[in-house]
Structure 1
Amino acid sequence: MGWLQSLFSPLKKLWFRLHSAQRKSRGIYILYEDVKSCPYEDVHVLWSILVESHSPSPPSKQ
């Protein structure tokens, strides 16, 4: 049965790595509903700055 465990161990590690990457990709957007319902304009400005800093920038042409 050791061969079976050695076969599934790397697959299990890969599964956990991919599954945790999906959770991390949600990142700051978990807070979106809380920020949207906040009445303070400062919070919305800070949110827009935070979202812009996390979005991938387009490749620049040189």
Structure 2
Amino acid sequence: MGWLHSLFSPFKKLWLRIHSTNKKSRGIYILYEDVKSCPYEDVHILWSILVESCPPASPPKR
């Protein structure tokens, strides 16, 4: 049974890495569509301040 685990272990790690990376890379930009559709100028100004204060996303470490 140990050979079966060793066979599927790399695939499980790859699966988890692919699915966890997508969520991390989206960050605050999940809200972008909501902010873009908002009619209030204050919201757009606050969004621009927030985006400018966040550091750019770094590529995932391998």
Q: Normalization by structure 1: what TM-score?
A: 0.68
Q: Which is higher, the Rg of structure 1 or of structure 2?
A: 1
Q: Any idea what the Cα deviations from partners look like across 1:8-62, whole Å, max 9, x if unmatched?
A: 2243134212321122101111111110111111111111111112243xxxxxx
Q: Indicate the residue corresponding to 1:49 in structure 2.
A: 49
Any residues of structure 2 matched to 1:3-18 within 5 Å, and which?
3-18=3-18
Alignment: residue pair count: 56
The code of the aligned residue for 1:12 comes to K
Give identity over the alignment, percent: 82
Question: Which structure would you say has the larger RCO, counting Cα contacts within 8 Å and 6 or more residues apart?
Answer: 2
Q: Any gaps of 5 or more consecutive residues in structure 1?
A: 57-62
The code of the aligned residue for 1:13 comes to K
Q: Normalization by structure 2: what TM-score?
A: 0.68
Q: Any gaps of 5 or more consecutive residues in structure 2?
A: 57-62
